[in-house]
Amino acid sequence: MYVCICNALTDRRIRGAIESGAASLGSVYRNCGVAPQCGKCGEMIRSFLDGDGSSKVPQVGPANARHAVG
């Protein structure tokens, strides 16, 4: 699932960065070779860093599809 549209970062890529030792939001970006853009992905990336990212993955449905992307 895409977590960061600006940088085309997926949850797998972010988890891979964390498994490789990234321990902060900035280090996740650096590990992935990108820089923060709009910042909307920060909360989700922090939830992965806290170890509870899987429980905060938004469920996209007709009512909230617009908000999950942007």
pLDDT value of position 52:
72
pLDDT tens per residue, the chain (70 residues)?
999 999 999 999 999 999 999 999 999 999 999 999 998 999 999 999 998 765 444 444 444 444 444 4
C-alpha 23/C-alpha 67 separation (Å) is 27
pLDDT value of position 53:
61
User: Does 10 map to a domain?
Assistant: yes
pLDDT value of position 19:
96
User: Does 70 map to a domain?
Assistant: no
Q: What's the total number of domains in the chain? A: 1
**CATH number, residue 29:** 1.10.10.1100
Partners of 4 in the β-ladder: 9
- pTM for the predicted model, two decimal places: 0.71
Question: Residue 20: which domain range?
Answer: 2-58
pLDDT value of position 44:
95
Calculate the alpha carbon distances from 38 to 7, 51, 55, 62 in Å: 10, 23, 23, 24
